[in-house]
Amino acid sequence: MTVLVTGASGMLGRAVAEHLVASGEEVRCLQRRPSSVSGAQDVLGSITDPDAVASAVQDCRAVIHLAAKVSFTGASAEFDRTNIDGTRILLDAAHAAGVTDVVHVSSPSVAHAGSSLVGAPAGRADPAHARGDYARTKAAAELLALGRSTPAFRVAAVRPHIVWGPGDTQLVERVIERARHGRLPLLDGGTALIDTTYVDNAASAIVACLRRMHAAQGRALVVTNGEPRPIAELLGGICRAGGVEPPAWSVPGALARGAGSVIERAWLRLGRTDEPPMTRFLAEQLSTAHWFDQRDTRSVLDWRPSVSVDEGLERLAAYYR
């Protein structure tokens, strides 16, 4: 029986698909562009196209759902369409096709309203208080997905926190690019502790979840490396791995958060589609602690991260050499 992976063209989706292939699973990938995962069957199509989804999920025993619109900016409707409607279409199709297990890949931001998180538990997804369209729509999608979970159609949510690794365009490339142009400040000295997840660990946790559906069913589990670090150290590590100077200047966090709000609104009003230099969400992420209690996740998934932060940074450096 086959496992369907949606969104396998992204860094994490590809890692998950490769992980499954390596462990001997039949793997089918659904996304708009070729996934280039060797050993997997590629189906091209959009997650919002019911016909494409229905045919992709045929004969599958399990689905790992990663396809999503991930961005700091964009029109609300696009987020709704991809993240909420796409999830609903997939769940409907999977249920109809007799799929028994679904791992819905979510984000810790679905449960949090921007305050600092210190050894925090996962918390319940809360679309009403989530910050920004991405978190809001992912929160709604997670509630939708977990609401469908039954013993016969098991759904679990895995929320990897800040996934990074070689080939990452979301965090790593942005950090390196901004630092190269001197546009990456530290906020408040970058002393806030944050948890991150090296991509291989996120992938192995997601695959582990598929094995542990009896325990994980109906639950949302935050996944991280379990190695909180000051944000300045992480950014410094990424910059050094990418061969650029780490940021050495700091601005007050409150100032950056305020400026982020203004810039965000201006970008929307101007109709610009490029990434703004600062958003409120980004400023919050860069200036407040957010790290998590991993004990529950590790016991439910019977899983441990296999690549430490330091080892991940070495691999990143090797990638850029």
Partner 1 sequence: MVALPGVDPSWSTYIDVPSTSGADRPGTSHRWHYLDNGADLADSTVRGTLLCVHGNPTWSYLWRTYLAAGRAAGWRVVAVDQLDMGYSERTGVFRRLADRITDLEDFAAAVGLTGPVVTVGHDWGGVVSLGYADRNREDLAGVVLTNTAIHQDADRRIPAPLRLALAPGVHGLGTRTTSAFLDVTLALARPALAPDVRRAFRDPYRTAADRQGIAHFVSDIPADPSHPSYPALTATAEGIRSLDVPVLMMWGPHDPIFSDPYLEDLARRLPRADVHRFEHAGHLVQEDADTASTALQWLAERSVGHPEPRADVPPRDDAPYVPLGRRLTDLAAGPDAARTAVAEMKPSGPPRTLSWRELDDDVAAVAAGLTALGYGPGSRVSLLVPPGVDLTVLIYACLRIGAVIVVADAGLGARGLSRAVKGSAPDVVIGIERALVAARAFGWPGRRISAAPLSPARRRALRVEASLNDLRAARPARSAVEAPAADADAAILFTSGSTGPAKGVVYTHRQLSAMRDAVAATLGLGEGASLVAGFAPFALLGPALGATSVTPAMDVTAPRTLTAQALSDAADAIDATVVFASPTALRNVLATAGALTDAGRTALGRISLLLSAGAPIPVPLLEAVQDLVPSAALHTPYGMTESLLVADIDLTGIRRASADARDGLDGAGGGVCVGLPVHGARVAVSPLDDDGAATGEATTAPGRTGEILVDAPHVKDRYFRLWRTQRESARTPPWHRTGDVGHFDAEGRLWVEGRLGHIITAASGVLTPVALEQSLETLDGVRLAALVGVGPAGTQAVVAVLETDAAGRRPALADAPLTEAARAAALRHGVGLAAVVAVPALPVDIRHNAKIDRTRIAQWCSRFLSGARAGSL
Which residues are the active-site residues? 134
d(CA 282, CA 265): 14
Task: Give me the residue label for tokens 């462990």.
Answer: 23
CB nearer to partner 1: give 121 or 277.
121
CB nearer to partner 1: give 98 or 230.
230
Structure tokens belonging to residue 120: 């925090």
Q: Please, what is the minimum distance in Å from the beta carbon of residue 311 to partner 1?
A: 12
Q: Please, what is the minimum distance in Å from the beta carbon of residue 283 to partner 1?
A: 11
> Which among 292, 290, 319 is positioned nearest to 305, based on CA atoms?
292
For residues 102 to 141, the per-residue mask of contacts with partner 1, x marking binding by CB under 8 A and - elsewhere, is --------------x-xx----------------------
CA distances from 169 to 70, 135, 157, 241, 284 (A): 11, 19, 23, 15, 20
Q: What are the phi and psi torsion angles at 36 (to 5°)?
A: 60, 30
d(CA 55, CA 184): 45
Q: Please, what is the minimum distance in Å from the beta carbon of residue 192 to partner 1?
A: 4
For residues 148 to 187, the per-residue mask of contacts with partner 1, x marking binding by CB under 8 A and - elsewhere, is ---------------------------------------x
Say if residues 172 and 242 touch (Cβ distance below 8 Å): yes
Say if residues 5 and 17 touch (Cβ distance below 8 Å): yes
**Strands 220-223 and 154-160, bridge-based pairing:** parallel
Q: Please, what is the minimum distance in Å from the beta carbon of residue 258 to partner 1?
A: 15
d(CA 299, CA 295): 6
Span of 58-66, 162-170, 191-199, 258-266 interacting with partner 1 by CB under 8 A: 191-199
Tell me how far the alpha carbon of residue 235 is from its chain's centroid: 18
Among residues 108, 114, 165, 226, which is the contact residue for partner 1, using CB under 8 A? 226
For residues 264 to 303, the per-residue mask of contacts with partner 1, x marking binding by CB under 8 A and - elsewhere, is -----------------------xxx-x-xxx--------
CB nearer to partner 1: give 119 or 147.
119
Binding residues vs partner 1 (CB under 8 A): 116, 118-119, 187-193, 226-230, 232-233, 236, 253, 287-289, 291, 293-295, 310
